[in-house]
Amino acid sequence: MKPFKTKLSGNLSPTKTELAAFAAGCFWGVEEEFRRVKGVIGTAVGYSGGRIANATYKQVCAGDTGHAETVLVEFDPKTVSYEALLDLFWRLHDPTTLNQQGPDFGEQYRSVIFYFDEEQKEKAVQTKNAAQREVKKPIVTEIIPAAPFYYAEDYHQQYVEKGGVATCHFR
């Protein structure tokens, strides 16, 4: 599966697909986990939620952009539900750590669900409430409207598939 290059307002696939966007720490491993889900049509890694247009990895890592490392997911809702993607999101990382996943620190590693419509927002809030009942510490995951998504450099796309190792975000 290759990264898809589509604007947030358009679809790549001929079938009716939807978009989801998640930040859950280092985007390399997060992308790989979403790519394994049946019904996911495409993924891309990039930066979202910040204040700098066309940010680079170097800028994001410096902590000056406000962006989070984000995975954009195109999926077929007839094959996989948004709720199933949310379930995976909650299992992929520790949503109770502020601006940190594993050894990675900084606001670029924060936990965020970017929603594209009110239905996604409602489902995100419902699953966050359910997840909170399962953990003792407060969940710090942000649930915010989808922001402009800036594609990361090509070498970051499908990093794990290219032979890179990324397990820093797993609990």
For residue 148, how many other CB atoms are within 10 A of its CB? Answer: 14
Alpha-helix runs per DSSP H in 12-165: 27-35, 57-62, 82-92, 118-132
Q: Is 83 helix (H, G, I), strand (E, B) or coil?
A: helix
Side-chain half-sphere CA neighbours of 121 within 13 A: 7
Give me the active site residues, please. 26
d(CA 39, CA 85): 10
Six token digits for residue 64: 């000056």
